[in-house]
Amino acid sequence: MHKTALIMAGGRGERFWPRSRKNLPKQFLSLTDDGKTMIQLTTERLLPIVAMEDIYIVTNRDYLPLIREQLPELPSENIICEPVGRNTAPCIALGAAHIAKKYGDEDAVMMVLPSDHLVKYSSLYQTTLRDACEVAQKGENLVTIGITPDYPETGYGYIKFVNEINDEDGRAFRVDSFTEKPDLEKAKEYLASDDYLWNSGMFLWKLSTIIRKYEELLPEIYDAMQKIKAAIGTPSQEQLIEELFPKLPSISIDYGIMEKAENIYTIPGTFGWDDVGSWLALERIKKSNEFGNIVDGNIVTINTSNCIIQGTEKLIATVGLKDLVIVDTKDATLICDRDHTADIKKVLENLKICNRNEYL
């Protein structure tokens, strides 16, 4: 059975403003010391188990040049452009239509992965995906990778699982329910209970299984998927996608299918996962100096501690500061208390209201 991968790469990465912008979002940035961008690392991690010709990327049309530049070895027909963003369920359906067109009646395992996450232990990650593929191949199983939590995170959804093993090797547990992002007290309860995993947004299933779930649970998207599939490779392909896709409901795969379907299983992931959701993630992926600072660029610090300071060529000098995030770019500078990084999106909302789109 063929293994295929669909990488979702249309997001804006707003919490990484001002480095992440509309024309260069987080997935196309390098946040690690090796200089590789996040989408390059995502693709590279897959290659031991998925051939490059079986990796597909769904993205915003504006990012097509970036993908071609950063992944020149990816077949051009494997880059799928959404006319507009319609959340993950239509996005995945569009990718599934392209994969189904390629394989026809032959079934394939489809991995669905975000483009902007980091993984510390690639070999463990690949082993987890292989295990999940085996579970997905058995029957009509939908598999999600849950991350073993090590602190009460309030920025993730959670997966509640039960101690009901799917296979003889004890790798996959039955999912009882999905929960929304909790408050701190509820997150502490989840952490203490040992029955919850973080929802990583990584899914695996047989192509035939997910198509049937769309037909059963999201028939409007299924109908559009079938029409688009028939048009792929014909002169009417782009026109039909432009016509049908914007009319689809904006709905997540979690809400539209995963929360309603049966045979949902999760495999715990312990491979050093990080969704790099805010500037504070740099503390988990980069080394701090003896003062607890994480600095990059032309930086001089005096009596400064526990700060994240990111610059370029311009000298940044700090005196007597602590617990701040400072990010300087050519046209914008962010100065933020580390406890308020979640509010960076409010800056962008304000800029939109004021029509200062050049800073988005």
pLDDT in tens, 254-286: 999 999 999 999 999 999 999 888 899 899 888
Confidence category of residue 14, pLDDT binned at 50, 70, 90: confident
**CA dist., res. 293 & res. 324, Å (int):** 10
pLDDT tens sequence across 287-346: 899 999 999 999 999 999 999 999 989 999 999 999 999 999 999 999 999 999 989 999
Give the tens place of pLDDT for each residue, 177-202: 999 899 999 999 999 988 999 999 99
Q: What is the pLDDT of residue 164?
A: 64
Q: How far apart are CA 51 and CA 319, in angstroms?
A: 51
Write the pLDDT tens digit of every residue in 325-334. 999 999 999 9
Q: How confident is the model at residue 13 (pLDDT cuts 50, 70, 90)?
A: confident
The yes-or-no verdict on residue 15 having pLDDT over 90 is: no
Pairing of strands 273-274, 118-119: antiparallel
Cβ pair 175, 297 in contact under 8 A:
no
The residue with greater pLDDT, 220 or 155, is 220
Residue 309 neighbours by CB under 8 Å, 6+ apart: 293, 294, 295, 296, 297, 299, 301, 316, 318, 324, 325, 326, 327
Predicted pLDDT of residue 33: 79
Task: Tell me the C-alpha distance between 197 and 358, whole Å.
Answer: 39
Q: Is pLDDT at 165 greater than 70 in this prediction?
A: no
Confirm if 20 and 14 have CB atoms less than 8 A apart. yes
Whether domain 2-274 has CATH 3.30.460.10: the reply is: no
**Please, which pLDDT band fits residue 166 given cuts at 50, 70 and 90?**
low
Amino acid identity for residue 312 in this structure: T
Phi, psi of 19 (to 5 degrees): -75, -40
pLDDT in tens, 35-77: 899 999 999 999 999 999 999 999 998 999 999 999 999 999 9
The 3-state DSSP class for residue 150 equals: coil
Q: Span 142-155, mean pLDDT? A: 92
pLDDT greater than 80 at residue 133? yes
Q: What is the pTM of this model?
A: 0.92
Span(s) in the chain for CATH 3.90.550.10: 2-274
Length of the chain: 360
Paired sense of beta strands 173-179 and 158-165, if any = antiparallel
Q: Is the per-residue pLDDT at 34 higher than 90?
A: no
Q: What is the pLDDT of residue 31?
A: 85
Q: Mean pLDDT throughout 222-250?
A: 95
The pLDDT of residue 278:
87
Residue 214 has pLDDT above 70, yes or no: yes
Specify whether the CB–CB gap between 241 and 94 falls below 8 A.
Answer: yes
DSSP assignment of 248-281: S----HIIIIITT-SSEEEEEE-S-EE---SGGG
